[in-house]
Amino acid sequence: MALEQSLAALSLATVTAESATPTKTLVFKPKTAKTAAPVPVVVFALQSTQTPSPHIASAAGVKEPRLAKEDLVQEFFSTTPKEFSVANLNKDLAGKIKIVIDESIFKGDENLVLELSTESAKAALPATTIVEFLKSTGIELIPVDFSAEVAAPAAAAPQKSKKDALKKEKEAAKLDDAKLIGITVDKAKDFSTWYSQVVVKGEMLDYYDVSGCYILRPNSYAVWEEIQNWFNERIKKMGVQNSYFPMFVSSRVLEKEKDHIEGFAPEVAWVTRAGSSELDEHIAIRPTSETVMYPYYSKWIRSHRDLPLKLNQWNSVVRWEFKHPQPFLRTREFLWQEGHTAHLTREAAAEEVDQILDLYSGIYEELLAVPVVKGRKTENEKFAGGDYTTTVEGFIAATGRGIQGATSHHLGTNFSKMFNISVENPDGSDKPRVFAFQNSWGLSTRVIGVMVMTHSDNRGLVLPPRVAQTQAVVIPVGLTSKTTDEARKAINDGAVDIEQRLRAINVRATGDYRDIYSPGWKFADSELKGIPIRLEFGPKDLKEEQVTVVRRDNNAKYVVKLADLESRIPEILEEMQKGLLEKARKDFDEHRVIVEEWKDFVPALNAKNVIVAPWCGVPECEDDIKDSSAKKDNGEDEEVDDKSPSMGAKSLCIPNEQRELKPGQKCVRCDKVAVNWCMFGRSY
Ligand SMILES: *[C@@H]1O[C@H](CO)[C@@H](O)[C@H](O)[C@H]1NC(C)=O
Ligand SMILES: *[C@@H]1O[C@H](CO)[C@@H](O)[C@H](O)[C@H]1NC(C)=O
Ligand SMILES: [Zn+2]
C-alpha cells in the first residue's frame, strides 16, 4: 500500500534526485512496562537536523527512546532497519506507532524536494507529497522544531511556553485526527485537488505510471458493473446483442473513412514494432470502432432479412490526448460501451436513437442520481459523419460547468454508402439496392466522474445506494476498557447478526470489527469510501433491541427496531437514493438560467450557471458566442484547460423540452430571428 502510493506519487512528480535534500528515517523504542506492548516512534527528519532523544521523548510523550533493534523493525515494518523508510508506513499502523516529523519538512515550502533513501533504493519526492501521504495513513503525526527545542536548562520559562506551543500544536493535530485520513481541502475552494483526493482516498482509482491512465479499483468498477447489468438487461430486450471486435485496426481500414477519422487522427496510438523489428504495416489502436466493424456489417448483411443488425460491445478505446488528464473525465484509455446498429428504414433507426437516449438518461438519473437534460447537438458539435447527434447533458454545480453525459447518433446512410452496407430493395421498385440506416451510441466510465463530482463532499465520496459496492456497514460502538468480555461478545455477535440478516435480503452489507480502530476512525473511513449508511450497534441498542442508522449524505439518524430491519433498511437506502437526485436536480435547475439578452450572458456564466437562450441556429453565430464569452485578459488564445475559468461557452445541446419563443424573438447574440432555445455553458 505505502509503496504503491509513493510510486503513484513518483509518477506525478517529475523531479530529479540531484536537487533533492537528503532525509533520514529512524525507529525508536521507548521504555515501557514489561507487560505493555511497545509503541515505536518513527523519526523522519532532514539528514542535517539533529534529533536528540530527550526532544523525541517530550514530543511523543514517551520515556527514554532508544534506537530500535532489528527485530522490532522487522516485526512492525516487515523490513530491516537498512531498508526502512517512510514509504513502508501504511494505514494498518495507525494507532500502533507514532511519527515525529521534522518541522522543516512538515512546514516545508512547496518547492522542497526530499530524497528518501535506503541501502538499495532512492526516490525524490516533493515534501508536500510525502506529508500528504503520511497524513493519509492516519498514523499520529507530531511536528517538532528540533532547532528551537535545543534550549539551555536555565531558560525554564521560554522552554515551558515552547512546550505549551507544542502541546497546542499536538492538540490541533488531534482535532484534525478524523481529517488526517480524509480529505484535506475544501470542495468549494480547490475543486480539482479535492476531486483527486476523493477518488484516490475513496479507493475509486489509483494513479498509474503511464500518464493519463488510471487503475479502476473495485469501488469504482462495481459501479460500472451495476451500469452494465442495468443497460444489458434493457438493450437485450430491444434485440441488441453483445459481441467483441479486436482493438487493432490496420491503417488501410482506419483511413477508409477520411472525414470520420479526421477528428481522431492526432490522438490515434500506433503499434509500430513487435519486439525489435519494425512492422511492415503499422497498426492503430481503435479510438472508436466504426471502421473496425462496418466492413463486417457489409459482409453479414446480405438481404433485408438480415436487418436490423444490432450489436454492442463493452470495451476500451484509446485516445492519446495531450490535454491535462483528469480521472474518469479525460483519460487516454477508457472503458465504454459502443452500440452499432443497421436498420432498413430511417424511422426504425430514429426510434432506436431516442430509446437509447432514454436509457442513458435512466443510467444517470435512476442509478447515479444525477439529473440530465436530453437534447440534440448543434451542427458544430455533432458527431462527424453522422446525420444528427442526441445527448444527455449534466452539470457540475461546484464549477458551474456543463458536461456531456453520453451520446446517441443517427448516422444516416453516410457510412453504409462508404462500406457498402446494402440490401436488395424489398419493394422491388426501380431502385435495386438500398443502403442501411445506421446508428451508433456510447456511454463511458466518465459517468463515474460526473457522479463523484455531483454528490461527494468534504468528508469524501458519497455513493448512491443503487450502485454502491457496499451499501451498509455495521460498526460496534460504546465498547470501553471497562466493557466485560461477555458484553463485548454480545455486541459483536449482535452486529454480525445484523450484517447477515441484511445480506440475506440482498443488501450489500459488511461489518467493521477491527479492534485497533476506534468507532470514530471507522466512521471517517466508511465516509471516505462513500458507504451510503452505517449501522451503529452498542450496549444501549443491544438492550433496546434496536440499531442506530446514519445516512452518509446528510447525517440523518434513524433508530430502527431490530424487528423492522428487513423492511426499514431498504427503505432508508431508497430514501437516500431519491434525496441525492432531488438535491442535485435542485442545483441544476437553479443554475440553468434563461438569458435573452447578450449583456446578461457572460455575467450569468461567471456566476457558475449554464444558460438557455434563444438562438438562430447558425454555426458562425455559435462560434461567435464561444469567442465573445471567453475572457482574454492576457491577449493569448485561452487554453481550454480544466483550471481555466476563461474558456468560452459552447453549445451543450438544443433541449428536447422547448419553451415557446416569443413572436419575432431575436437570437441572444445576433440580429437574426431565433429558431429554438439552446443550452450554452462552459464545459468539460
Ligand atoms: C452525411 O450525409 C448527410 C446527408 O445524409 C450530409 O448532409 C452530411 O454532410 C454527410 N456527412 C459526411 C461527413 O459525409
Ligand atoms: C455492394 O454489395 C453488393 C452485394 O454484395 C454488390 O452487388 C454491389 O456491387 C456492391 N456495391 C459496390 C459499390 O461495391
Ligand atoms: Zn445568432
CA dihedral of residues 627, 637, 592, 329 (deg, nearest 10):
140
Contact of 467 with 455, CB cutoff 8 Å: no
Ramachandran category for residue 385: left, alpha or beta (phi over 0 → left; psi -120 to 50 → alpha): left
C-alpha cell at 155: 531558560
Give CATH 3.90.960.10 domain extents, the chain: 2-152
Question: Which CATH architecture fits 214-245+287-455?
Answer: 2-Layer Sandwich (3.30)
- CA pair distance 3, 25, nearest whole angstrom: 15
Which residues fall within 8 angstroms of residue 11, CB to CB, at 6 or more apart?
A: 207, 208, 209, 211
Which residues fall within 8 angstroms of residue 469, CB to CB, at 6 or more apart?
A: 218, 219, 222, 223, 463, 508
Which homologous superfamily is 2-152 in? YbaK/aminoacyl-tRNA synthetase-associated domain (3.90.960.10)
- CA pair distance 472, 549, nearest whole angstrom: 9
Best mutation site among 294, 414, 415, 435 for ligand 1, i.e. most ligand atoms within 8 A of its Cβ?
A: 414
Which residues fall within 8 angstroms of residue 63, CB to CB, at 6 or more apart?
A: 30, 31, 32, 57
Residue 355 neighbours by CB distance under 10 Å: 14
Mean residue pLDDT of the chain comes to: 88
Give the tens place of pLDDT for each residue, 268-316: 999 999 999 999 999 999 999 999 999 999 999 999 999 999 999 999 9
pLDDT grade for 53, boundaries at 50, 70 and 90: confident
Whose CA is closest to 41, among 54, 57, 17, 22? 57
The protein residue whose alpha carbon is closest to atom 7 in ligand 1 is 387
Best mutation site among 257, 387, 418 for ligand 1, i.e. most ligand atoms within 8 A of its Cβ?
A: 387
Give CATH 3.30.110.30 domain extents, the chain: 592-681
Give the tens place of pLDDT for each residue, 255-267: 776 766 777 788 9
- CA pair distance 278, 251, nearest whole angstrom: 15
The protein residue whose alpha carbon is closest to atom 2 in ligand 1 is 414
Q: Would the CA dihedral through 635, 641, 642, 647 be positive or negative? A: positive
**pLDDT for residue 172 is more than 60:** no
Question: Which CATH architecture fits 472-588?
Answer: 3-Layer(aba) Sandwich (3.40)
Best mutation site among 417, 419, 422, 431 for ligand 2, i.e. most ligand atoms within 8 A of its Cβ?
A: 422
Q: Rounded to the nearest whole angstrom, what is the distance from the C-alpha of residue 671 to the centroid of ligand 3?
A: 7
**pLDDT for residue 617 is more than 50:** yes
Q: What is the pLDDT of residue 302?
A: 92
> Which atom belonging to ligand 1 lies closest to the Cα atom of 260?
13
420 lines ligand 2 (CB under 6 A): yes
**pLDDT for residue 358 is more than 90:** yes
Q: Starting from the edge strand earliest in sequence, which strands make up the sheet with 270-274, in order?
A: 248-250, 277-285, 270-274
Give the tens place of pLDDT for each residue, 529-549: 999 999 999 999 999 999 999
Can you give the pTM of this predicted structure?
0.74
What CATH number is given for 592-681 in this structure? 3.30.110.30
416 lines ligand 2 (CB under 6 A): no
**pLDDT for residue 430 is more than 80:** no
**pLDDT for residue 120 is more than 80:** no
Whose CA is closest to 333, among 386, 269, 405? 269
Contact of 298 with 420, CB cutoff 8 Å: yes
Q: What is the pLDDT of residue 260?
A: 67
Q: What is the pLDDT of residue 171?
A: 47
Q: What is the pLDDT of residue 87?
A: 83
666 alpha carbon, closest ligand: 3
Per mean pLDDT, which range of 10-14, 93-97, 126-130, 282-286 is the poorest? 10-14
Contact of 38 with 74, CB cutoff 8 Å: no
Q: Starting from the edge strand earliest in sequence, which strands make up the sheet with 333-343, in order?
A: 241-242, 309-318, 333-343, 437-444, 401-412, 388-396, 373-376, 650-655, 676-681, 610-615, 592-594
Whose CA is closest to 142, among 39, 10, 38? 39
Q: Rounded to the nearest whole angstrom, what is the distance from the C-alpha of residue 353 to the centroid of ligand 2?
A: 27
Q: What are phi and psi of 63, to 5 degrees?
A: -105, 135
> Which atom belonging to ligand 1 lies closest to the Cα atom of 259?
13
From the number of C-beta atoms within 10 Å of its C-beta (0-12, 13-18, 19+), residue 601 rates as buried
422 lines ligand 2 (CB under 6 A): yes
Choice between 457 and 178, residue whose per-residue pLDDT is larger: 457
Q: Where do runs of H (alpha helix) occur along 63-210?
A: 70-77, 103-106, 127-136, 146-149, 156-175, 177-180, 191-201
pLDDT grade for 153, boundaries at 50, 70 and 90: very low
What secondary structure letter does DSSP report for 256?
T
21 lines ligand 2 (CB under 6 A): no
Contact of 318 with 250, CB cutoff 8 Å: no
Whose CA is closest to 366, among 548, 203, 231? 231
Residue 52 neighbours by CB distance under 10 Å: 10
Choice between 665 and 29, residue whose per-residue pLDDT is larger: 665
Residue found by looking up cell 513502508 in the block: 88
Best mutation site among 433, 434, 435 for ligand 2, i.e. most ligand atoms within 8 A of its Cβ?
A: 433
Q: Is the peptide bond before 38 cis (omega within 30 degrees of 0)?
A: no
